[in-house]
Amino acid sequence: MAIVEVKVPQLSESVAEATMLQWKKKVGDAIAIDETLIEIETDKVVLEVPAPSAGVLIEILVADGGTVIAEQLIARIDTEATAGVTAPAAAPAAPAAAPAAAPASASTSAPAANGGAMAGVPMPSAAKLMADGNMPAGSVPGTGKDGRVTKGDVLAAPSATKLVTASAMPAAAAPVALLPQVAASKKPDDLGNRPEQRVPMSRLRARIAERLLQSQSTNAILTTFNEVNMAPVMEMRKRFQERFEKEHGVKLGFMSFFVKAAVHALKKFPLINASIDGNDIVYHGYFDIGIAVGSPRGLVVPILRNADQMSFAEIEKKIAEYGAKARDGKLGIEEMTGGTFSISNGGTFGSMLSTPIINPPQSAILGVHATKDRAVVENGQVVVRPMNYFALSYDHRIIDGREAVLGLVAMKEALEDPSRLLFDI
C-alpha cells in the first residue's frame, strides 16, 4: 500500500482558516492526478484542492462544512488500490492467526500476531461510523498504522453498505450548494404558513459585512452626484462595435469607457486615487481599478492592474475574464488584492441611483447606474437624451468637496466628449 496525504493548500497571510464546501469524490472512488477533490472557501476566494496523485480515495478526515487551516491533513489516497477497494488484497493468514484476522493484509496481521496494543482499535472517525451502523467491535479489520481501523476500512466493510449509502456518502444527485442546506422548521403548529430558514453566512459574505461596517465606521463618507449624457458614447460604440468585435474578438461595452474616464479624472485629481495609512496620505503613482462584480457567492472586486496602460480591448477582455471567473468561483486572491479606486455598475441590474460604499483602504468609489431616456434642457429647449446618474462616494478626511466634485465633472466631460480620452485633455 502506498498512501499519499491530501492537505489544505497554503492560504493567504491574512486568512487564518477556511471552510470545506463539498467533496467531489467519495471514499472508494478512483482519483486521477490533479482531479479536483474538494473546494475550500476562505473569506476571499474559493480554492480547489487537486489530487496530488492518482489512486483511490480511502479516507476523508474532514467532512463538508468543516473548518480547516493551512497544511491540515484532510484525506488519504492509496496509489496502488483499485476503485471500490480501500484495502490491499488479503494475504495468507499465519497458521496461528485467529479466523477473524484472515481478511487482513500482511501488514495489519503482523502487529496483531506480535501483540500490538493498537491492532484492531478504531480511530475516532471510524469508531463513530461503526457506532452509527451498529457494527460490533472487531468486525472490521484495520489497515491503518499499527493495525488500527480507519474510516476507509469501515466504509469498505461489506456490513457497511447501508451506512455508506445513508450517511457516509453524499447522494450523487444532491444539489451542489455553496452554503449548507438547512431544512425549514418542521413546526407547522408554531409557524403555520410562515416558514423560516436559518443558514450560516459564507466566509465571503461575513467578510463583506465586516469590511462594509469597517468602511462606514472609519471613513467620513460623503457622496456627490452628477448626470451624464451618454449619447456620444453610445453613438461611438454603435459606430465601431462590429469592427471592434471582429478585430479584437470581444464586444465593446460601456465599462471600458467608464474605466478610461475614471483614470482620466484620477490623473487630474490624485487625491481621489490616494489612501490613508495612519497619519499619512499615500499617493499612488499607478491606477489599479477595482471592478465590482456580482457572483453566486457575493460581491467580489477583481483589480485591473495599471488600467492607464490598457487599451479598450484589453479592458473589455479582462473584465469578461473576471466575470467568468467570478461566476465559476475561480478568482484568485492575487486578483482581488490591492486597488486604488473602484467602479460599481449597478445599472446592469436596473439601479437608477445609489450611494456606493468605499472599499477600504481606498478613498473613493464611482457608482454607475442605468442609462434611461430623460427630458433635459439644452439651449433653452426640452429634448430627450439617454442620461445616466453618476455617484462618487469619497472619504472626506482627505478629499474635499472641490476635488470630489471636479473629479466627477472630469469623468462626465470625458464621456460626453470621448475625444478628450484620446488627447488626455
Residues identified as active-site: 396, 400
Q: Quickly list H helices, 219-311.
A: 231-248, 255-268
Nearest C-alpha neighbor of 395 from the set 358, 369, 352: 358
> Residue 205, exposed/middle/buried by CB under 10 A (0-12, 13-18, 19+)?
middle
Half-sphere exposure of 250 (CA within 13 A, CB side): 17
Contacts of 346 (CB under 8 A, 6+ apart): 354, 356, 367, 368, 369, 370
Contacts of 402 (CB under 8 A, 6+ apart): none
Nearest C-alpha neighbor of 25 from the set 38, 9, 44: 38
Burial 71-101 (b: 16+ CB within 10 A, else e): eeebbbbbeebeeeebbbeeeebeeeeeeeb
C-alpha separations of 249 from 244, 252, 319, 321 in Å:
8, 10, 14, 13
